[in-house]
Structure 1
Amino acid sequence: MPLRDRVATWLGVSPQKLVQVLVAEYAPGTPLGWHRDVPDFEVVAGVSLGNDAVLRFRPFPPDEIAKRHAVQLTVAPRSIYKMEGAARWGWQHCVPPVKGRRWSITFRTPVAAMS
């Protein structure tokens, strides 16, 4: 089964709802700075391959209090994660420098696709 179909099944949507995919390769030492995905997309699902990585989250907008409330989770190789609702809109995320080569395959649904 194609990866897009597997991710769609996991999200509980049709594959056609996954309108954008981004494949990114991270060499050892590569970070991804603090950001929120563009507002054109609602749900963000990522598949992590290669080396494990740490996803850090902090409340948005990032004032001094928010910066002290950052949380993190480790994404293992071959894992999948989803950002929607408060995690999608009320938090920023980043990836500190990775220790080994990693690939991220990110799927996105358009705004209102999940309703």
Structure 2
Amino acid sequence: MAEAETEIQMCDAAVTLAFSVLGKRWNGMIVSTLGGGPSTFVALRRAVAGISDTVLSDRLAELTQAGLVARTVDAGPPVTVSYALTASGEGLLPILSQLGQWASANLEVPAH
């Protein structure tokens, strides 16, 4: 019985770790958007409707620190910065797709 309890705690810790990053508003949408390929800050801001520049900047920094997004600077001219998913970030795409399918089938869209 103790072994089963240990497995449950390990799973809970892993899920907790995943949601410490993905549970933050916008992070899943940013990863999903970058699933279409590398993007600039401006293109990401347009693609993720409603996000502010400050929050997008913070979330990109967090996702980069977590190893899910890579930031590349092209010295130019002009200097351009692009963001792309790392291999770890790309590994999330099928999971996000499944999560979206589950949400469509099981959650109601709140009425406005």
Q: What TM-score do the two structures reach when normalised by structure 1?
A: 0.28
Q: Comparing both chains, which one has the higher relative contact order based on Cα–Cα distances under 8 Å and sequence gaps of 6 or more?
A: 1
Instruction: Considering fraction of residues, name the structure with more strand.
Output: 1
Instruction: Considering fraction of residues, name the structure with more helix.
Output: 2
